[in-house]
Structure 1
Amino acid sequence: MIEGNFYSVKMNDNTYQISFLPTEDQINEIYSWSTFPSHTFSTIDNAFKQYTICIVSSEKTTIGFLVYRLSPRCINIALAETKYEHRNKGVAKLILEKLTQQLLPQGYVAYHLYCSPENSQYIWKSLGFHYYPQSRFGKRSEKIKMYKIFVDCCTVKDISERAKELDIIEIWNCDAVIDDQKPTWFAEISINENKKLVKPLIFFGDDNWSIKIDQKFERYKNYNRESEVTECFYINDVK
């Protein structure tokens, strides 16, 4: 449950109210204008009961919402929409900013979602989201999946940029590494005396993909069995 429940923000000569504890009337108001099919309303209703919905109002009218689910490190955006006449005014950006502000102190590091409808990808891209990387064998899913990391972390680069003297984690975009097959990406790391990474590695891929850390090959899911988001690598120590 979000600890801070209400904000009032002035933006572009308008005043917006952001609430993490909406009323039942506000939820019903969303149902009156949302373009999502009615069978998705149960998702909104469950989020209302579980305190995992954020709504935005202006002049006592509900104009936007975002439904989310929490895992140990990541926030899955399940549904989000802005009322038609209030689009392109920064409402979605405002919701994300306030949600990030609330959840960052609790250890959350990133958002992830799949685009439904598919053309929503362009909105999410404008908000700083990135596409999931492809596997060695092409697209892994028919769904368009995107993510946004909002904490300071290791930068993942193409393996062609590698300098050999660096301490690195190597990542392959496949589960089985054959012979001298080069990794696809790498991340430069710094390790303190407690074998903790100064900055964590956060990478959205497939937990079956192989990594090499401290000269050891493993599938990510075997390296971190506590991970509950199969698409997200989160490494903050050397085992």
Structure 2
Amino acid sequence: MRTSINPTKQNISEIENWLTQEWNDKNEGFFTNLEMIPKAFEENRISILNENDKAIAFALFRIYDEMSVIDIAEIEPIHRGRGIARKFILDTLDILKSRGVIVVKLFCSPEKSEGFWMKCGFNRFEVPNNSQINMYKTLIDVLNPTNDFLDSKLDKLKLWDCEPHLTDRNQPKWIWELKYKNDNKTLIKPIICPAHYDWQIELDSKSKIITDKVKYFPFDIFDSGTFIIINSIENIKH
């Protein structure tokens, strides 16, 4: 039994067959998303779990720079309950990490799958105007926010979970004390946090305070609309 990102056309056919069978038997599964599988196969965006050269699980994903989205993941019904699904997902995450991914997100479908994803190390996060169960997992060590400011001389990054016109009645939800590598711009650990592009973010440094919406902030920040990834404060420091 092994996880692979090089499925054969036969493997794809096997997956399509048991998805079709599951739909016919129980009216469940991802049969309605069947058209996504051949496209993911062509674009090398699918991992599978092979047992005796047969595909018994699969996951479809997309990669955006350092972030990945898992669109679908399922194990063949007859193989559920064996304790192999979690290992398959963790193996898939290792594959994504090897491709430079540092955070993975998804939404739970069906909603009852939330418990499984939590066992895989995912955490829930809220997305404005979105009622789905959104979850994410970081694949590397990241800078954690703090409530105890041990060194007042350090630069600080503050993030509110609201738009700027609401911040006068709210404190920042996250605050990070920034430590840099020798180049004085690259963070020792990156910041990865669920965030909406219209939320307010602020850099409080020794020389200046800069405040704006995430989408307008003047430094290198990956913004997917639901996540920020910050590796450096380059444009502010220089």
- Give the TM-score of the pair, scaled to structure 2: 0.82
1:116 pairs with one of 109, 120, 127: 109
Report the RMSD for the aligned CA atoms in angstroms.
Answer: 2.2
What is the aligned partner in structure 1 of residue 44 from structure 2?
Answer: 51
The one-letter code matched in structure 1 to 2:149 is A
What is the aligned partner in structure 1 of residue 162 from structure 2?
Answer: 174
What is the aligned partner in structure 2 of residue 151 from structure 1?
Answer: 140
Alpha-carbon distance in 1 for matches of 2:90, 2:72: 16
What is the aligned partner in structure 2 of residue 230 from structure 1?
Answer: 225
Change (3 A) 1:37 1:65: closer
The one-letter code matched in structure 2 to 1:197 is L
Matched residues, percent identical? 25
Is this contact kept in 1: 2:103–2:139, CA < 8 A?
yes
Residue 180 of structure 2 aligns to a residue whose secondary structure is: coil
2:96 pairs with one of 103, 128, 132: 103
What is the aligned partner in structure 2 of residue 199 from structure 1?
Answer: 189
What is the aligned partner in structure 1 of residue 214 from structure 2?
Answer: 220
- Alignment size in residue pairs: 217
The one-letter code matched in structure 2 to 1:92 is A
What is the aligned partner in structure 2 of residue 11 from structure 1?
Answer: none
1:189 pairs with one of 164, 170, 178: 178
Alpha-carbon distance in 2 for matches of 1:174, 1:21: 43
What displacement does 1:226 show? 6.4
Residue 183 of structure 1 aligns to a residue whose secondary structure is: coil
The one-letter code matched in structure 1 to 2:66 is R
What is the aligned partner in structure 2 of residue 18 from structure 1?
Answer: 3
Alpha-carbon distance in 1 for matches of 2:93, 2:222: 21
Residue 140 of structure 2 aligns to a residue whose secondary structure is: coil
Residue 125 of structure 1 aligns to a residue whose secondary structure is: helix
Alpha-carbon distance in 2 for matches of 1:45, 1:228: 29
Structure 2 portions without partners, runs of 5+? 20-27
Is this contact kept in 2: 1:110–1:149, CA < 8 A?
yes
85-94 vs 119-128, which deviates more?
Answer: 85-94
Once the two structures are superposed, residues 115-147 of structure 1 have per-residue CA deviations (whole angstroms, 9 ceiling, x without a partner) of 11111111111111111146xxxx531111110
Alpha-carbon distance in 1 for matches of 2:159, 2:30: 39
What displacement does 1:54 show? 0.6
What is the aligned partner in structure 1 of residue 24 from structure 2?
Answer: none
Structure 1 portions without partners, runs of 5+? 1-15
What is the aligned partner in structure 2 of residue 60 from structure 1?
Answer: 53
Change (3 A) 1:39 1:85: closer
- Give the TM-score of the pair, scaled to structure 1: 0.82
